[in-house]
Amino acid sequence: MQAIPEAQLLRLEGLREKVNLALESLIQREIDNGAGEVAQISGEILLSGGKRLRPLLGIFCYEIAGGKDLDEIMDLALASELIHTATLIHDDINDAAKLRRGVTTLHERIGQPKAIIAGDWLFVHGYGLSGRYSKECIDLIRDSCANIAISEFKQLDHILDLSTSPEDYLQIVKGKTAGPFAAACESAGIVAGASTEQIQALGRFGMELGIAFQLKDDLLDLHGDERMGKPRGKDVIEGKMTLPLIHALTLLHGERRRHLADILNNFNDGLWDELMGLLETSDSIAYAESLMLTHLERAIHELDKFPTSMAKSLLMQVAENVHNRYS
Amino acid sequence: MQAIPEAQLLRLEGLREKVNLALESLIQREIDNGAGEVAQISGEILLSGGKRLRPLLGIFCYEIAGGKDLDEIMDLALASELIHTATLIHDDINDAAKLRRGVTTLHERIGQPKAIIAGDWLFVHGYGLSGRYSKECIDLIRDSCANIAISEFKQLDHILDLSTSPEDYLQIVKGKTAGPFAAACESAGIVAGASTEQIQALGRFGMELGIAFQLKDDLLDLHGDERMGKPRGKDVIEGKMTLPLIHALTLLHGERRRHLADILNNFNDGLWDELMGLLETSDSIAYAESLMLTHLERAIHELDKFPTSMAKSLLMQVAENVHNRYS
């Protein structure tokens, strides 16, 4: 990993701060307008951390596509963060999760009814922010949001389904994680007035990056890191079929596969060593890592169509961070 | 109640059928596009009945405001129904309701995770349908949806709060029930290209009608009717402060008020006669009925600004139906 040039780092941090300030003032405006507790609480969740990955991607994609006016893209960038946070809140309810970003989840703190509504409120405002853009952009965001729902249904159907195939996995990931990345990048290109070819390249960049992002998530779930802010093995406990597990279930045979199935069906913290041993036998961690790198390379390859610029370096930096992140 | 002229009745039924067909083909299109179970299930809920009150109001308001092209308003009309259905699904989860329109609620049938997501999916598509309209319309819909969330928070805070005032009640009703009516009517006027004065009159018409609609709901909850499709006293059991209860709690004093408070805090089916007796003592049913009529009159008064037309007669008919409905 190369050291990041200071100018890039300053720009990255400066923009992240701008996004944070814009999110803060959006929430403050709604509170001032009388939105009360729902804005207060949704705001706390929205502002309680997060890498602002989707907004930053949108801004950099806008810039490499020729966009010059940060104000022109900011609402779309914020929209992706609000919608993302809305889905996290509803996901946490559905997963009965206790922790998010190291703090107690919203439904655990204020009860499920208010948490469902807070998610709805964030979603409304996220979607509302897209209202100033072209119908093409609004349709892209609608489709990516609808695909999240479609994929979440699929994911629920595959809970503890040990016959889940890599194709099922990819379909779910494309809808749930990578699609919103792609929509943020593609719509940014549209706002910048880029060529069709460039817009499509940005969409593919976002999709590939999003798949890599999810694969890294899968790996983090197995490795664990206290900085993650959620317990190690959350996916395994919830019966979510992550790629390393799918790979191992496909490669292992006979007694070993039966043993792995047993572990997954009855997982507890005492089974970590056995699980990781089996995943090592099938080389599934290494496989998921190399698959992640392939998708990252594909993502970066899409940027070849754009001239060298600070924004392009930053997009490559974001891709690098997907690989190196710990949460 | 006057008999409805046959031409009006035919037009009303014809339009309701058109709305139903348009909803059906929207769902079918999404299923054909691969949306799968989430579209199937959300479609079942969407198409399982409902008076299509919000779409019809939108269409008639568009027409009295001078709109001539049904295709121009149809997406906005459908949007209001999709968003309404989405809120019903999430409400039913939050109320832990077992029945809706006489059938088992969605979360009871398919589990809460899929029900939350189905609500989100309907919401996405409802909001998505508004994407072809002006920013002014999209903002109106955003604000009305955000106000639903804000008011639901307030309503949750007032569960079994026997000191809830008529002002609290009106604020909740305006946000949760009447606001979406107002948005449907007002945005229809915008699409029709009506004058600012007319657009505002349509907004007030929707708001007043919506308040009357909620008051009728409150009364239906107390009277009960098997055609309602939900159990009598659902609101009372859930601790919702409906207007007749608020009125009685305000008017009664001493032993009678303590008795009423006791009944509400420990309600069960054996207490119906005592509850209704107390509401009779305070004349609260008659008060709620007369308040409902006042709001209906105010609604109809707003239509004075529009010339006589079939659409105007139909809007008055819809208002009449709010009064006479049983579900």
pLDDT digits (tens, 9 = 90+) for A75-105: 999 999 999 999 999 999 999 999 888 889 9
3-state SS of B102-158 is CEECHHHHHCHHHHHHHHHHHHHHHHHHHHHCCHHHHHHHHHHHHHHHHHHHHHHHC
Q: For residue B29, give both structure tokens.
A: 């299109």
Q: For residue A47, give both structure tokens.
A: 């502002």
Residue A293, pLDDT above cutoff 70: yes
Of the pLDDT bands very low, low, confident and very high (cuts 50, 70, 90), residue A33 is very high
Of the pLDDT bands very low, low, confident and very high (cuts 50, 70, 90), residue A294 is very high
Average per-residue pLDDT in chain B? 94
pLDDT tens per residue across span B123-136: 999 999 999 999 99
Determine, yes or no, domain membership for B272: yes
Residue type, A230: K
Look up the domain containing B46 and give its range.
6-316
Q: How far is A262 from chain B (nearest CA, A)?
A: 26
Residues of B in contact with A117 (CB under 8 A): 90, 94, 149, 152-153
Determine, yes or no, domain membership for A58: yes
Q: For residue B289, give both structure tokens.
A: 């009925």
The pLDDT, as a whole number, for residue B1 is: 52
Q: What percent of chain B has pLDDT over 70?
A: 98
> Is A174 within 8 Å of A51 (Cβ atoms)?
no
Residue B202, pLDDT above cutoff 80: yes
Gyration radius of chain B over CA positions: 20
Q: How far is B47 from chain A (nearest CA, A)?
A: 19
Residue A148, pLDDT above cutoff 90: yes
The pLDDT, as a whole number, for residue A2 is: 61
Residue A229, pLDDT above cutoff 80: no
Cα distances (Å, whole numbers) of residue B89 to A48, A88, B97, B123, B276: 29, 19, 10, 10, 30
Q: How far is A255 from chain B (nearest CA, A)?
A: 35
B132 touches chain A (CB under 8 A): yes
Closest CA to B202 of B82, B300, B80, B83: B300
Determine, yes or no, domain membership for A32: yes
B135 touches chain A (CB under 8 A): yes
pLDDT tens per residue across span A230-259: 788 889 999 999 999 999 999 999 999 999
The pLDDT, as a whole number, for residue A100 is: 86
Residue A290, pLDDT above cutoff 60: yes
Mean pLDDT of B172-191: 98
User: In a 3-state reduction of DSSP, which class is residue B100?
Assistant: strand
A159 touches chain B (CB under 8 A): no
Mean pLDDT of B280-290: 97
Residues of B in contact with A139 (CB under 8 A): 128, 131
The dihedral sign for the CA sequence A191, A196, A201, A205: positive
Of the pLDDT bands very low, low, confident and very high (cuts 50, 70, 90), residue A1 is low
**Backbone angle region of A133, left / alpha / beta, with phi > 0 → left and psi within -120 to 50 → alpha:** beta
Determine, yes or no, domain membership for B70: yes
Of the pLDDT bands very low, low, confident and very high (cuts 50, 70, 90), residue B2 is low
Residues A205, B125: Cα–Cα separation, whole Å? 26
Of the pLDDT bands very low, low, confident and very high (cuts 50, 70, 90), residue A225 is confident
Q: What percent of chain A has pLDDT over 70?
A: 98
Residue B317, pLDDT above cutoff 80: yes
The answer to whether B145 contacts A37, with C-beta atoms less than 8 Å apart, is no
pLDDT tens per residue across span B48-107: 988 999 999 999 999 999 999 999 999 999 999 999 999 999 999 999 999 888 889 999
Residue A213, pLDDT above cutoff 70: yes
The pLDDT, as a whole number, for residue B231 is: 80
**Backbone angle region of A193, left / alpha / beta, with phi > 0 → left and psi within -120 to 50 → alpha:** left
Of the pLDDT bands very low, low, confident and very high (cuts 50, 70, 90), residue B4 is confident
Residue A44 makes CB contacts below 8 A (sequence gap 6+) with none
> Is B146 within 8 Å of B47 (Cβ atoms)?
no
User: In a 3-state reduction of DSSP, which class is residue A63?
Assistant: helix
Q: How far is A50 from chain B (nearest CA, A)?
A: 22
Q: What is the number of other CB atoms lying within 10 angstroms of the CB of residue B316?
A: 16
Residue type, A210: G
Mean pLDDT of B260-278: 95
Determine, yes or no, domain membership for B327: no
Of the pLDDT bands very low, low, confident and very high (cuts 50, 70, 90), residue A37 is very high
Q: What percent of chain B has pLDDT over 90?
A: 88
Q: Which residue of B has its CA nearest to A120?
A: B149
Mean pLDDT of A272-293: 97
Q: Which residue of B has its CA nearest to A39?
A: B150
B108 touches chain A (CB under 8 A): no
Residue A150, pLDDT above cutoff 60: yes
Least confident of B13-27, B43-57, B220-234: B220-234
B96 touches chain A (CB under 8 A): no
User: In a 3-state reduction of DSSP, which class is residue B51?
Assistant: coil
Mean pLDDT of A9-38: 96
What CATH code is carried by the domain that includes residue B32?
Answer: 1.10.600.10
The pLDDT, as a whole number, for residue B225 is: 72
Residues B292, B212: Cα–Cα separation, whole Å? 5
Provide the number of structural domains found in chain B: 1
Residue B68 makes CB contacts below 8 A (sequence gap 6+) with none
Q: Is the pTM of this model over 0.90?
A: yes
Environment class of residue A219 by beta-carbon count within 10 Å: exposed (0-12), middle (13-18) or buried (19+)? middle
The full DSSP string for B263-278 is HHHT--GGGHHHHHHH
Alpha helices in chain A (DSSP H): 6-32, 36-46, 53-64, 70-95, 106-110, 112-129, 135-157, 166-173, 179-191, 196-223, 234-238, 243-251, 254-265, 272-281, 284-302, 310-324
Residues A141, A80: Cα–Cα separation, whole Å? 9
Determine, yes or no, domain membership for B1: no
Residues B241, B84: Cα–Cα separation, whole Å? 21
The pLDDT, as a whole number, for residue B101 is: 80
Residues A295, A286: Cα–Cα separation, whole Å? 14
Determine, yes or no, domain membership for A37: yes
Cα distances (Å, whole numbers) of residue B103 to B40, B106, B178, B208: 17, 9, 25, 30
Angle (CA) B168-B169-B175 rounded to 5° is: 95
Mean pLDDT of B230-255: 93
3-state SS of B193-236 is CCCHHHHHHHHHHHHHHHHHHHHHHHHHHHHCCHHHCCCCCHHH
B149 touches chain A (CB under 8 A): yes
Q: What percent of chain A has pLDDT over 90?
A: 88
> Is A104 within 8 Å of A48 (Cβ atoms)?
no
A31 touches chain B (CB under 8 A): no
Residue B88 makes CB contacts below 8 A (sequence gap 6+) with B45, B100
Determine, yes or no, domain membership for B324: no
Average per-residue pLDDT in chain A? 94
Residue of A37, A38, A190 best to disrupt the B interface, most CBs of B under 10 A: A38
Q: What's chain B's length in residues?
A: 327
The answer to whether A139 contacts B131, with C-beta atoms less than 8 Å apart, is yes
CA–centroid distance for A190 within its chain: 21
